[in-house]
A and B are shown apart, each in its own frame.
Chain A
Amino acid sequence: MLSKDDIDKYLDTIPPVPNTIRLTLFHLNNNDLVQAANIAKEDKVFVAYLSEIVNKPIFGFMNDVKNVNQIFGILGLGKARQIVASYYIQLITPRDWEVFDFSNNKFQELQANLIIEWNEVLKELKIDNKNLQQSIALIPASLIVCEMMFRDIKETILLLRESKHMSFDEILYKMSGYRLFDIVLKIAKKWEFDDDIITFIKYFLQNKVVKIEKKEIVFLRLLINCEMSKPYIVNSGLNDFFDFPMNFTEEEIALFLKIRNKI
């Protein structure tokens, strides 16, 4: 049985964001890269995470980079903010994945891909908004929520998916009355993410047709769909996790493919 109470209990166990990380993001939001790097250095776990993620192939560094000042300097403000926000998610990442055939290494690969690709999309759409940049960090949190919520009832969930082909979100909603985005938003609020980010994620995760002026939501949905069709995700069973309406125009798809080819 999975009830609202179980979910609320899970939310209570989520740790607060460490002060050093909160301060790092504060300085990054004030465009102070040097101060941000100096503070970040104090959190050894964060430094290890930072070094692991930026050395993923998609970041394209020729040599292994380890120094925080150097990393922040190369990344620039936008990507540095995204990585700090992504680290928040690391706080709730399970040690081992049980429901899905996934790992923390693959999860970091997903985070890295999304950061780079989302930056390219925003650049192409000529959108310069630090909240929008950071919002990408929160989306993978829904995968973790799903893993954590379903691990005790894993077999039943997978059987339900097989026999009824219900989405994970639908199963969660029918069982508990919560949707995945309700839980992700609760986590975002707990971590005091900016209201704009929360609103954006809310629009993004809702299974509704989005008005055409919300171009960034359309492209984020394309980006997530593209990532979800890659073999490392398909093989993990996470492939049809997000259930968005498929209302993309040919022009949007063509532009997205153009952006993707640049990466």
Chain B
Amino acid sequence: MKPIIKNKVAIFYPTGFLDGDNASSIITGADEQEIIFKKPEAVFVSLKKIIFFNKKGISYLAERLSFLKDECMAFVGFCDYDIKIYNSILSTFVNNITFSLIEKEEMLFLFCGSKKLEDKSIIIYSNDQSQKNQIAMTLIERKLKVQIAKNEDEFEKDKKNFDFVVQNSYLGNIEKAVAVFIKNNIIIYSLKGFIDSNIFNTFDMKYHKNSIKVGFRIFCFDMSEVSSINIHGANFLSKLSIDGAEFGVSIVVCGLNSNKTTSRITQDLEDAGILMYDNLKSFFEDEEVVNQTNIEAQKMAKKTKMSKKIISILPDVIESTIRTIEILSNKKASKESVKIQNLKSNMGDEIVAAIVGFYDDVDALFLLIMDKDDVQDVCKILLPKEFSVEELFDAFSEFANVISGKILQKFKSKHMNAEVTMPRIFDKISEVKKLESTKHGVQTNFKIGNKEMILFLTK
């Protein structure tokens, strides 16, 4: 059964009855290989659609999850259950719980993944004091606003005032290698423990490189939870900084003090162009530096040129895009014009744009732009009846995701080995035009029904 991987979290959704006969078809060897390859931050099994399970079935899945935890240092466990299932799992695995239990899927993103939830309020209550503290510590580390209820009465009285209620959840040991957050278009990697040569194995370099491709320019390593860093760990950061320089990438390190490393290593990091801050707060307060770094990034980015390869894949990209748009929007899509030029748009500044990077055999950036007011009409199938602006952006992101997935299949059918990044969303055309990549590329203008859409393909 293929897991759904979203925001760096892989979730399996088995249905019906879970026993020893069918458990092995839920997490198969092929699924494990895919997960090890993609290195998600967490792997969970949703029990939402499970009617009945026995010890054999759940034990098999727990064993496979533990394997994945060891292989990719992922946060693993079960989610989406009621109190009966929660108690039943706890009593099945007394004193030997190597996985976590998170009551609802949406709460999973409080503990892991790149989804931004920092403006949400959370109340925690548990009879188990050590669990209560562990949950609170984990959430506070993720910069979330947490309140711990003192007793059950207080919890029952206050819980309605919170966005999330964490009650029947259990944390096994969370030993994530590198947690990733995104704040103000800055990627924050949270490191823990001792940083040595092992970071070369646990850091998801593919994710990092692709984030650069889709336009992220500042990468911040939060070291507040790091106990110490040695010369090999420092070399890793220096290498990232030097390698990223040609793309205008800045590496920032926060929370590394004299107790954690030597002055020599700190000096080496600064010499490699790494910006050092006492903590994350002081970094984000330094708006001038953040903005300057952004501008600098644009200037430093290499001017890219169209390659023959990009021109050669264009027909496939256009064909796949038109076909997918027609299926998703249920409207006729037609190509209006194709030109090699810099990005030109007659739309106002209020747009929604998604940028996706293809890599490996095909090295290209794919940009989809629509007027903000037109998006809901075209992405109807992906939107709930009532939606927020955030959900509209999410829907357009999914829209771009499905189209890029379709293009990927086309490449694969022609034996081209390609992978794709997650889409990055912009909401202003002026911001999109700042990207160096938009200075030269193939622009295709589409009509979807009577709405306009721009596809910009560049290197």
Q: How would residues 110 to 148 of chain B score, 1 for a CB under 8 Å from any chain A CB and 0 otherwise?
A: 000000000000000000000000000000000000000
Give chain B residues whose Cβ lies under 8 Å from the Cβ of A230.
21-22
- List the A side residues contacting B49 at CB < 8 Å: 240, 246
| Inter-subunit contact A159/B21 (CB<8 Å) | no
Question: Which residues of B from 80 to 117 have beta carbons under 8 Å from A?
Answer: none
Q: B418: CB under 8 A from chain A?
A: no
Q: Is the CB of B330 within 8 A of A240?
A: no
In the complex the two chains form, is A162's CB within 8 Å of B2's CB? yes
Contact with B along A134-170 (1 / 0, CB 8 A): 0000000000000000000101100110111100000
Interface residues of B in 433-453 (CB under 8 A from A): none
Partner of B15, one of A3, A159, A235, A239: A239
Contact partners of A240 in chain B: CB under 8 A: 13, 15, 49
Residue of A nearest to B332 (CB): A1
Residues from chain B with Cβ under 8 Å of A209 in the complex: none
Q: What is the CA–CA distance of A214 and B16 in the complex, to the nearest angstrom?
A: 20
Enumerate B14-67 residues with CB–CB distance to A below 8 Å.
14-18, 21-22, 24-26, 48-49, 51-52
A231 x B330 contact (CB < 8 A): no
- Give A156 to B404 CA distance when docked, in angstroms: 11
Supposing A225-B16, A234-B25 touch, asked if A175 and B326 sit within 8 A by C-beta, the answer is no
B51 touches A248 (CB 8 A): yes
Q: Which residues of A contact B13 (CB under 8 A)?
A: 165, 240
- Point out the residues of chain B lying under 8 angstroms from A3, CB to CB: 330
Considering the chains assembled together, what is the distance between the CA atoms of A159 and B402 in angstroms? 6
Q: Which chain B residues lie closer than 8 Å to A199 at the CB level?
A: none
Partner of A226, one of B16, B330, B405: B16
> In the complex, are the beta carbons of A160 and B402 less than 8 A apart?
yes
**A65 on interface, CB distance cutoff 8 Å:** no
Q: Are B17 and A226 in contact (CB under 8 A)?
A: yes
Interface string of B326-347 (1 = CB under 8 A from A): 1110101000000000000000
Q: Does A215 contact B (CB under 8 A)?
A: no
Query: Judging by beta carbons under 8 Å apart, are B2 and A175 in contact?
Result: no
Choose among B13, B51, B382, B398 the residue with the greatest number of A CB atoms under 10 Å from its CB. Answer: B51
- Is the beta-carbon distance between A253 and B15 smaller than 8 angstroms? no
Given A156-B327, A231-B21, A234-B26: A225 and B51 within 8 A (CB)?
Answer: yes
- Which residues 210-262 of A sit at the B interface, judged by CB distance below 8 A? 222, 225-231, 234-235, 239-240, 246, 248, 253, 257
Inter-chain CA distance A227–B15, complex, in Å, is 10
- Which chain B positions have C-beta within 8 A of A23? none
A106: Cβ under 8 A from any B Cβ: no
| Closest residue of B by beta carbon distance from A173 | B381
Q: Does A2 contact B (CB under 8 A)?
A: yes
Tell whether A253 pairs with B51 under 8 Å between CB atoms, given A162-B2, A235-B25.
Answer: yes
Q: Does A174 contact B (CB under 8 A)?
A: yes
Q: Contact size class for A? A: 20 to 34
Interface pair A164/B330, CB less than 8 Å apart: no
Question: CB distance A253 to B4 under 8 Å?
Answer: no
Nearest-neighbour CB distance to chain B for A106, whole angstroms, equals: 14
Q: Interface on chain A toward B: helix, strand, loop, or mixed SS?
A: helix
Docked CA distance A234–B409 (Å): 23
Are A231 and B24 touching (Cβ within 8 A)? Answer: yes
Contacts of B18 in A (CB 8 A): 229
CA distance A155 to B327 in the complex (A): 11
Contact between chains at B25 and A163 (CB < 8 Å): no
CB of B382 within 8 A of CB of A164, answer yes
Q: Nearest Cβ in chain A — how far from B45, in angstroms?
A: 13
B208 at the interface (CB under 8 A from A): no
> How far apart sit A155 and B403, CA to CA, in the bound complex (Å)?
10
Cross-interface CB contact of A231 among B25, B380, B398, cutoff 8 Å? B25
B416 at the interface (CB under 8 A from A): no
A242 to B13, CA, bound (A): 13
What residue of chain B has the Cβ atom nearest to residue A155's Cβ? B409
B250 at the interface (CB under 8 A from A): no
- Complex CA gap A239/B13 in Å reads 10
Do A156 and B402 contact each other (CB < 8 Å), given the known contacts A225-B51, A240-B15? Answer: yes
Q: Which residue of B lies closest to A250 (CB)?
A: B84
Given A3-B330, A248-B51, A163–B402 Cβ distance below 8 Å? yes
Measured between beta carbons, the chain A residues less than 8 angstroms from B16 are: 225-229, 239
Q: A36: shortest Cβ distance to chain B, in Å? A: 35
Q: Determine if A174 and B17 form an interchain contact, defined as CB atoms under 8 angstroms apart.
A: no
One digit per residue, 1 when the CB lies within 8 angstroms of any chain B CB and 0 when it does not, for chain A 167-186 equals: 00001001100000000000
Q: Tell me whether B197 is interfacial, beta carbon within 8 Å.
A: no
B289 on the A face (CB < 8 A): no
CA distance A168 to B137 in the complex (A): 40
Enumerate chain A residues within 8 angstroms of B15, measured Cβ to Cβ.
Answer: 225, 228-229, 239-240
Is B168 in the interface zone, CB < 8 Å from A? no
Which residues from A are CB-within-8-Å of B2?
A: 162
Cβ of B323: which chain A residues have Cβ within 8 Å of it? 156
Residue of B nearest to A228 (CB): B16
* Cβ 8 A contact of B381, one of A155, A162, A174, A239: A174
Is the C-beta of B406 less than 8 angstroms from some C-beta in chain A?
yes
8 Å CB contact of A253 from B14, B52, B330: B52
| Residues B402 and A257 in contact, CB atoms below 8 Å apart | no
A229 to B16 alpha-carbon distance, docked (Å): 5
Please give, as numbers and ranges, the residues of chain A lying within 8 Å of B405 by CB-CB distance.
Answer: 155, 159, 162-163
B324 at the interface (CB under 8 A from A): yes
B22 and A231 contacting across the interface, CB-CB below 8 Å: yes
Q: How far is the CB of A230 from chain B (nearest CB, A)?
A: 6
Task: Tell me if B327 and A229 are in contact (CB < 8 A).
Answer: no
Distance, CA A240 to CA B49, complexed state (A): 9
User: B300 on the interface (CB 8 Å rule)?
Assistant: no
* CB of B1 within 8 Å of the partner chain: yes
**Smallest distance from the beta carbon of B325 to chain A beta carbons, Å?**
10
| Distance, CA A225 to CA B2, complexed state (A) | 19
Set of chain B residues within 8 Å of A227, measured between Cβ atoms: 16
CB A221 to nearest CB in B, in angstroms, measures 9
In the complex, the answer to whether B382 meets A229 with C-beta atoms within 8 Å is no
Pick from B52, B328, B381, B401: contact of A257, CB under 8 Å: B52
A selection of 7 A-B contacts at a CB cut-off of 8 Å is: A1-B330, A160-B381, A165-B4, A175-B327, A231-B24, A239-B1, A257-B52
Q: What are the 4 A-B residue pairs with the smallest beta carbon separation, nearest first?
A: A229-B16, A225-B16, A231-B25, A234-B25
User: B residues engaging A (CB < 8 A)?
Assistant: 1-2, 4, 6, 13-18, 21-22, 24-26, 48-49, 51-52, 323-324, 326-328, 330, 332, 380-382, 398, 401-402, 405-406, 409
A165-B4, A240-B15, A246-B49 provided; 5 other pairs, C-beta below 8 A?
A162-B4, A225-B16, A225-B17, A230-B22, A248-B51
